[in-house]
């Protein structure tokens, strides 16, 4: 018979079921309690008058788990120092959406060599998330592939849907079933409405195709996730964190009947993809907050051990330790300075 399917498929590799991976790399009772507590604390910071600042910070992507652990240990110590005014959540990003093509993250290509050993990537991802939680740091990640959450979402405290997928029905449906607070980025074109529509869709019950814990194709029926909010990340027209942009976003949220809760991504188009500008963006946000703004409840920053980024692909042995292979980041020294500055600047609000 004439072949009519799989004409462009080279190979189909079976993966362990989510249940198998969860039992191979289980979470402990204390991790489960920590995750539940962190999620409800994040919820409080986003949706109530809690004055503490939510800071989602860490590498653009984790490509070297050892350097990632080194970063997490330093962040955990810094987090303890400032926890009275700042809740620090570590960016643990394993799935990278690409504008065209490129390395798609540790889950998709953990050996950094194009072998795409997804089973190893999922294992490494789960182990890394557990290590971060054990340091007392809540975890944040972007959910990109709609199958991945079954393998890792139980270890994630805050989730993001990225600018490239906020408009996608698949991602809005997936978000409607996720258990943690979740931020939708504005579109890459700068559209706020795309994120508003996403928050509304994800808040509703949905039924969609997915896999169950045994890996069987299933209709997933959700309740809707009421804990979704907007993340402003700038867009094709430039940054969108100025007081005028914030007021405009507050108006759009109010018109849509949504809480005025805004998280600002200091990176991406808010810093013209120049990582060293992120502290300036942060200062501009702090100025708005100390002047009385109540809608900006937190920020996101891309930070790593070393500054900037390095070209990839290149031989693994030649990679510089602790330097991003995706978007550029601020280095550890700049990170410490910035976090202490946030802490000091917010002091008057806590008197
Ligand atoms: O944050 C990450 C990047 O901005 C995003 O994955 C797109 O990257 P790319 O434009 O280099 O593909
Ligand atoms: C990909 C990211 O951001 P955005 O979706 O805003 O481009 C990110 O935060 O890693």
Domains, in order of start, for the chain: 18-350 (3.20.20.70)
With contact defined as beta carbons under 8 Å apart, do 76 and 320 qualify?
A: no
Atom 2 of ligand 2, residue of closest alpha carbon: 162
DSSP, residue by residue, 10-24: --------HHHHHHH
Q: Global pTM?
A: 0.98
DSSP state of 57: E
Q: Is 262 in the pocket of ligand 1 (CB under 6 A)?
A: no
User: What pLDDT is attached to residue 241?
Assistant: 98
- Ligand closest to 263 (CA) is 2
Closest-CA residue, ligand 1 atom 3, reads: 327
At 21 the pLDDT is 98
Is residue 104 within 6 Å of ligand 2 at its C-beta? Answer: no
CA of 161 to the centre of ligand 2 (A): 8
Q: Is 94 in the pocket of ligand 2 (CB under 6 A)?
A: no
Q: Is 231 in the pocket of ligand 2 (CB under 6 A)?
A: no
What does the alpha-carbon distance between residue 51 and residue 342 come to, in Å, rounded to a whole number?
Answer: 13
239: helix, strand or coil = coil
Determine whether the shortest distance from the Cβ of 162 to ligand 2 is under 6 A: yes
Task: Please tell me the predicted confidence (pLDDT) of residue 2.
Answer: 97
Determine if ligand 2 sits within 6 Å of the CB of residue 105.
no
Per-residue pLDDT of the chain (351 residues; tens, 9 = 90+): 999 999 999 999 999 999 999 999 999 999 999 999 999 999 999 999 899 999 999 999 999 999 999 999 999 999 999 999 999 999 999 999 999 999 999 999 999 999 999 999 999 999 999 999 999 999 999 999 999 999 999 999 999 999 999 999 999 999 999 999 999 999 999 999 999 999 999 999 999 999 999 999 999 999 999 999 999 999 999 999 999 999 999 999 999 999 999 999 999 999 999 999 999 999 999 999 999 999 999 999 999 999 999 999 999 999 999 999 999 999 999 999 999 999 999 999 999
| CA neighbor of 51 nearest in space, from 258, 289, 301, 300 | 289
Which ligand gives the minimal distance to the CA of 328?
1
**What's the rounded Cα separation, in Å, for the pair 252 and 146?**
28
Rounded CA Rg of the chain: 20
Task: Calculate how far, in angstroms, residue 168's C-alpha sits from the geometric centre of ligand 2.
Answer: 15
The pLDDT tens digits for 124-168 are 999 999 999 999 999 999 999 999 999 999 999 999 999 999 999
How many whole angstroms from 230 Cα to the centroid of ligand 1? 19
Ligand 1 atom closest to 273 (CA): 4
Q: What distance in angstroms lies between residue 162's CA and the mean position of ligand 1's atoms?
A: 10
pLDDT at residue number 78? 99
**Ligand 1 site, residue 96, Cβ cutoff 6 A:** yes
Is there a contact between 131 and 28 (Cβ–Cβ < 8 Å)?
A: no
Query: Which of 159, 281, 327, 329 has most ligand 2 atoms within 8 Å of its beta carbon, as the pocket-test mutant?
Result: 327
Q: Supply 326's token pair.
A: 């995706």
Query: Could you please report the per-residue DSSP string of 139-198?
Result: EEEE--STTTHHHHGGG-SEEEE-TTTTT-HHHHHHHHH-SS-EEEEPPTT--HHHHHHH
Atom of ligand 1 nearest to the CA of 96: 6
Q: What is the DSSP string of 276-315?
A: GGHHHHHHHHHHHHHTT--SEEEEEEEB-SSSBB--SSS-
Candidate of 92, 99, 236, 312 to mutate for ligand 1, largest count of ligand atoms within 8 Å of Cβ: 99
| 214 CA → ligand 1 middle, Å | 32
Best residue for ligand 2 mutational test, from 96, 100, 160 (most atoms within 8 Å of Cβ): 160
């Amino acid at each position: 018979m004439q072949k009519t399917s799989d004409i462009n498929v080279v190979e189909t590799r079976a993966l362990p079921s989510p249940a198998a991976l969860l039992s191979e790399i289980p979470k402990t009772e204390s991790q489960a309690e920590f995750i539940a507590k962190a999620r409800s604390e994040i919820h409080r910071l986003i949706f109530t008058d809690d004055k503490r600042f939510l800071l989602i910070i860490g590498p653009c992507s984790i490509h070297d788990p050892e350097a990632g652990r080194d970063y997490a240990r330093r962040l955990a110590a810094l987090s303890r120092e400032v926890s009275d005014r700042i809740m620090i959540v570590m960016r643990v990003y394993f799935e990278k959406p690409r504008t065209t093509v490129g390395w798609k993250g540790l889950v998709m290509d953990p050996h950094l060599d194009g072998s795409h050993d997804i089973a190893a990537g999922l294992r490494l991802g789960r182990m890394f998330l557990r290590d971060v939680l054990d340091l007392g740091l809540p975890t944040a990640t972007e959910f990109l592939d709609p199958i991945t959450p079954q393998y890792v979402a139980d270890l994630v405290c805050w989730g993001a849907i990225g600018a490239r997928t906020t408009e996608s029905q698949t991602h809005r449906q997936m978000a409607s079933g996720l258990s943690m607070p979740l931020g939708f980025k504005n579109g890459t074109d700068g559209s706020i409405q795309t994120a508003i529509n996403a928050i509304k869709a994800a808040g509703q019950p949905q039924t969609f195709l997915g896999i169950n814990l045994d890996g069987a194709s299933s209709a997933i029926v959700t309740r809707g996730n009421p804990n979704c909010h907007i993340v402003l990340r700038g867009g094709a027209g430039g940054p969108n964190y100025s007081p005028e942009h914030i007021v405009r976003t507050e108006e759009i949220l109010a018109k849509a009947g949504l809480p005025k809760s805004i998280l600002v991504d200091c990176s991406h188009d808010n810093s013209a993809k120049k990582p060293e500008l992120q502290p300036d963006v942060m200062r501009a946000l702090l100025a708005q907050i100390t002047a009385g703004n109540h809608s900006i409840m937190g920020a996101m920053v891309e930070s790593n051990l070393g500054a900037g980024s390095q070209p990839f692909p290149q031989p693994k042995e030649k990679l510089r330790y602790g330097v991003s292979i995706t978007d550029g980041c601020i280095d550890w020294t700049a990170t410490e300075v910035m976090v202490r500055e946030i802490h000091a600047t917010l002091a008057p609000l806590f008197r």
